[in-house]
Structure 1
């Protein structure tokens, strides 16, 4: 169950990053490009920052505990 949650989380973040990068690169409107770039930075920092790292470490620790490693 936790694995499916992590896969869903990473797919959701990847989709948001991809779409905001697409808009930031290809949109002809300068204001919309700037807004998309701000959203891209925000998603990238929150998705790969402390929250994402904590989630990955916690899931790894839980899986190791289930396997009897720790």
Structure 2
């Protein structure tokens, strides 16, 4: 098995709780839209690491850079 999971867009598809069931708090959630980020934060933000990133994963300081956590 695996020790942890990186779950992209699980907020969008309502899958974050499933990852938490399988991996406990060893899940890193990545969301690419503000809507899905808010959804994931509401659903599992108290238990899991949730990050909002820009889809191109731009470096800090570059136009379009997004990095938020909850």
TM-score past 0.5 threshold: no
TM-score band (shorter)? under 0.3
Q: Which has the higher strand share?
A: 2
Q: Which has the higher helix share?
A: 1
- Give the structure with higher Rg (CA): 1
- What TM-score, normalized by structure 2, do the two folds share? 0.23
